[in-house]
Amino acid sequence: MFKMAGIACILAGCAGWGVSRVGEERSRVRHLKELIGIIQRIRDEIVYGKHTMPEICLILKENCSPAYRICFQQIYEKVSGPEALPFDRVWKRQTDICLRGAPLFEEEKDILRNMPQNMAAQEEKLQAESIGRSVELLVRNCRRAEEACEDKSKVILSVSLLAGVFIVIMLI
């Protein structure tokens, strides 16, 4: 009786570990899609809306997931108040905080972190082109991550269950 309960617990634990790893892979894809949407919205607001970055932060705060919403609200408040701080420093600090736990590669995080550097050009078209290259990189990475996620999901679940079976066999 106790052996069967132990076997069930080991197999459930290994399966749970596998499911959590698959969830991390899917979370990465979800974060990439969110990042693509944010950066495309920034580009559109610059080109078509002719908004400044603080105004864009106010717009983004209404259209993003809760984690990014807080980030953009903090940026807007810190750069538009009576004691306004430099935009690029606030942007970098707040995006660092926001992206700290995100399951993204550093180069992907750097795209959002370094967004003010893309704004160095005075002309909107040049800014949009620079941002467009960033979006293209993220879209490529997102496609790769989506393709890999399906394959990895099957492998991770299989290996985790096999590891559970192996552990059970070793303990019997």
Q: How confident is the model at residue 70 (pLDDT cuts 50, 70, 90)?
A: confident
Closest CA to 63 of 83, 82, 37, 87: 37
13-16, long-range: CB < 8 A, 24+ apart: 13/164, 14/160, 14/161, 14/163, 14/164, 14/167, 15/157, 15/160, 15/161, 15/164
Query: Which whole number is the average pLDDT over 158-167?
Result: 83
For residue 120, pLDDT beyond 60: no
Q: How confident is the model at residue 121 (pLDDT cuts 50, 70, 90)?
A: low
Mean residue pLDDT across the chain = 82
* The pLDDT value given to residue 119: 63
Domain boundaries, the chain: 30-143
* Tally of CB atoms within 10 A around 12: 11
Query: Which whole number is the average pLDDT over 38-47?
Result: 84
Query: Which whole number is the average pLDDT over 4-27?
Result: 83
At residue 84, φ and ψ (nearest 5 deg) are -60, 135
Chain segment 125-142, per-residue pLDDT in tens: 777 777 778 788 888 888
